[in-house]
Structure 1
């Protein structure tokens, strides 16, 4: 019969094994994709590749106008989405933080509601809406769709920063002769800028990676990089797709590193909106 100490050690070992297996399960598709992007073969063969080469990246950078057009659209779309979503989300967060608790909860639920609606449903709904009211070009339609999925993150992160600022700081500025606008731009905004920046990074990352909404709203000449990758997977499956996927993953990883330096991933992802 196991002693209590041995039982505890066995339990810890089991937990560590489960964590390790889960990590391998989550990382294995990424490892396979990265290794295949450097595959030296001219075809997609068994894993692992017998030799390594940079030729798929060379084809991606020098001989694939289709993917680069999608990347340019994704980049411009992500920048526009980030700017608009950050401005709207931060403004909404300021208004929500000053509401009474009853209306604050209602407004917060409205702004965060896209998080619980599948992207496919949002994309299909927007497709039906723009089919009836055919007023916007493809890029503008994509921008509307990406704003819908980015606003919850910019609003939530801005709320996190604003709720950590004591109201007495603004009151002190007002008592010293500043008006409400000066108090906001000199006290509130600088203190909340880290959270607002984190929300902007989230908006950029989700806009760059989105597929579910973009696939419904693009057309033959205006499409994003993830949509282009899916299209190539159906028509011409080669390892240039893996190289493009690695490029996209590298960009996302860089954004996460910036987010970790700006505000910290644990705070950005794990902290609730309102403090008790």
Structure 2
């Protein structure tokens, strides 16, 4: 007798899967498809972000006389030319370092002071003041540069290295303020209360308790602000005078005039220096923790 007929009742040849098992299989397939799609999108985004940098770095080793990819050959000649025959680029590089260092130092003092005053306050005026201080992060850099140029013209100060530093302070201080505020919000307020109860003055408590705890946040914001100031074009373009040509502006001019391959060599040096500094700052200050 066939197996499907037992005791006169038909028995199906195969038992349908349990609903819970079907749900698990469906959920697993949905997760795999979700991970696959977003993984491919992530890879595509990474390629789009990294490809221009990789192409510039490869082009900097070209043996030719023009910016061309792929290079006809490979050589270190343009790095040697950058070191031996480019005093104007080295001068612009030093000026950019001085500008970024001065702007970052001033921004640290202003941003840390503002963060100490606003971090633990919940009043409406404090939130409004914080929004004003952080507004350069939301405004286009060209608009900031143009508005600062009009402001200095109305004040009659003219353009100089000092006005350039002030313009860079306006765009670097918000980064330090943001990371310092995040560090202060994570600090236990009982530590300050204990220091005050033991007789510590406000300055002594800040120097021995608050500052060591928020130092990684200050360092992370200072690093981001320094790199943004060093690489800034828009504000520097509006506020630079004839004697204050920073490195990004100089590179723009040599690319615009004759597509000089030394610009690619400068880019290669800056990329390598940025990677090294990011690794060092991640080990010292944990930048990624303060950027979330």
- The 5 A counterparts of 1:192-211 are 192-211=214-233
Aligned residues: 268
Matched, 1:20 2:38: no
CA offsets 1:152-186 (integer angstroms, 9 cap, x no match): 01111111111111221111111112222211211
Residue in structure 1 matching 2:65, options 38, 42, 45: 42
1:262 CA drift (Å)? 2.9
* Separation in structure 2 between the aligned mates of residue 179 and residue 4 of structure 1, nearest angstrom: 60
**Deviating 4+ runs (over 6 angstroms):** none
Q: Which residue of 2 aligns with 1:56?
A: 78
1:61 CA drift (Å): 1.2
In angstroms, what is the RMSD of aligned CA positions? 1.9
Q: Does 1:83 align with 2:105?
A: yes
* Structure 2: unaligned runs, 5 residues or longer: 1-24
TM-score where L is the length of structure 2: 0.86
The answer for the alignment partner of 1:274 in structure 2 is none
Cross-structure match for 1:138: 160
Q: Is it true that 1:225 corresponds to 2:238 in the alignment?
A: no
Larger radius of gyration: 2
Offset at residue 10 of structure 1 (A): 4.1
- Looking at structure 1, the residues matched to 30 and 147 of structure 2 have their Cα atoms a distance apart, in angstroms, of 54
Structure 1 CA distance for aligned equivalents of residues 238 and 219 of structure 2: 29
Report if the CA contact (8 A) 2:141-2:234 is conserved. yes
Given that residues 170 and 183 in structure 1 are in contact (C-alpha distance below 8 angstroms), is that contact kept between their aligned partners in structure 2?
A: yes
TM-score, normalised relative to structure 1: 0.90
Q: Which consecutive residues of structure 1, in runs of 5 or more, have no partner in the other structure?
A: 271-276
* Cα distance between partner residues in 1 of 2:255 and 2:57: 17
Structure 1 residue 3, shift from structure 2 partner: 6.5
**Among candidates 105, 113, 135, match of residue 135 of structure 2:** 113
